[in-house]
Structure 1
Amino acid sequence: MSTDGLWSIGGLAERAGVTVKTVRFYSDRGLLPEAARSGGGHRRYGPDALDRLRLIRSLRALDLPVPEVGRVIDEQDARGDSLGDALEGAIAGQLRELGSRLTALRWREAALRLVAECAPGERPGRLRLIGAMTTPPSTAPLARFWRGWLPPRLPARVLAATVEQAVPAVPDDPTPAQVLAFARLQAFVSAPCDGSARFQPEAHKGGRGYRPELLYDGLAEAYALAAADVREGRAPHGGEALDCFVAAHAGALGSRDTPGFRRGLGPQLAAEPRLDGYWSLVAELAAPSSGRPEPTPGAADDWLRAALAAAS
């Protein structure tokens, strides 16, 4: 330090353990204020610049981008010595980004293990499935599938709730089996339907007296009521869940829940197209490492249909 208590750019760099180029970089971006200029126009820095430079290096060590560092420092200047909301927001953003990167790496690792551990003859097919999938995967194709498969003109609330229930969550730390299940699920929803008119249930076709908004609203409630029985492996039986299931179908048809309606509903449902392959893959994807898996809407629907058959 010179007699005026200021350092040259080289002196500051030496004390901070950085290069002159680093000091100049942060100075040029307004993060490191100069105390003065020498007679020859050289930059001069006071002791506070050393503290500021150490703070900058600490923030950069957390991988905060330079603009974020600038916002943290500006807020500190405005508040005094306090590091407040800007730092909290920057750290929260970095944690979210890091979490996304770690999830992507876990999916990539599980995909590599999936290919490495399978028989050589299975590898080409698995590579094709994995190659069509991002890591971590997006559930957008699944949501698009359901929006296209569900009947048109469903109220936005019913549509959103049904899609949310039908689209599984993506695990953060998947097993190779879950990677395979999701890849197959994506291939399932991407495959062309074999004739949309034959593929969809009668409730999705206009002009037949159906009110699908009542059907899907009621089915969501019925599945929720049946979930505990399905989870615990109880045999299908009558009760509130079955009553709600039947009422949903009766209301959608403008009918009443009568013994005759129940007798006719079972065969009608048995003749409808099914999405068993989809729900089977969802169950594989959602299977936890331990404990009972959470029942899918497909499993709840199977249980309720069996309960209807048993009660008829």
Structure 2
Amino acid sequence: MSEHELYPIGDAARRSGLSVSAVRFYADTGLIPPTGLNDAGHRMYDIDAIARLELVRTLRELDTDLDEIRRLLEGGTTLHDLLSTHLEIVERQERTLRARRAVLRTLIRQGGTTAQADLMHKLVSMTDEEREQAVDDFWTDVGEGLDVPEGFVDRLRSMRPVLPAEPTAAQLEAWIELADLVGDPAFRDAVRAYLRDAYSAPEARAMATEPFQDFIHGSSTQLMAELIAAHRAGESPRSPRARQAAARFLAAAVALSDTPLTPELRDRMADGFRQVPELLRQIAEEEAAADGPGYDDTHGRYLSLVTRINGTATDEDLDSVPYAWIAEAMRAEDPLPSQGVSAS
């Protein structure tokens, strides 16, 4: 293709990917006039005109209107600005389609009604402030009259959903379910009842105190991750790495009650840890047999949905935690008795 060569309209159409009628239309509207005419009066196009026709085709495929294209070609805007504007439009359309998909999938799964479709549309269209307010209202209502240590409900309130600017369909679906739940008085009553039964009794109130909650949701999670990592790496439960991790876990646990970590206490804690799977099974059976909803249907459901919305790693599957291996590591003597073990 020569820089100075002129091509008939058919060639210009073929090289630009447009139809002949489209090239003729852009010429008639003055958008891309022909470079000249041949002796027979037929339109001819040079390389520059064909390149501009290619650009017009690309922009039209992006749904750019002709006025915007005309401003670009006449120097009223830059290609970068035009493409940036259209990127914003496409991304906005993508978010809208993703939200619609989430609503449709949820409605299909639930066999929803017209009223439910309207509600779900409102839920996915909520602003960040409206989502924050919905969660705050939920925990304010749940905590009303709940006899638990000071600060416990505020800690629960801090575990809240944060829908990202570019949520996936799964995150939107989780938000639809959570927003529906936190606005449901029956769900609020069920969560309040679970928390009251789990933490209000005198023997259970210690679990709702700040030190215990800090251990459960903070240091114990990290320390347990260290133990699981050692197990997955094929370490022996009596290896230095496993024994040190177990010692740190035990030290952090006994620090809650200022109890010395004696060999006898270590053995009792190891025995108790080995029995965790059976205890969890019994708890699950008791909850299934109980009249009221249990953890999985109340606070556990809330936390599970928050985890999905936030895109954070889910808690370790309880069936995959190597309880017997960890118990064996706990039984091993502290590999560094002269240096002590830090609970931090």
TM-score by length of 2: 0.40
Q: Which has the higher contact order (CA 8 A, sep 6+)?
A: 2
Greater gyration radius:
2
TM-score by length of 1: 0.43
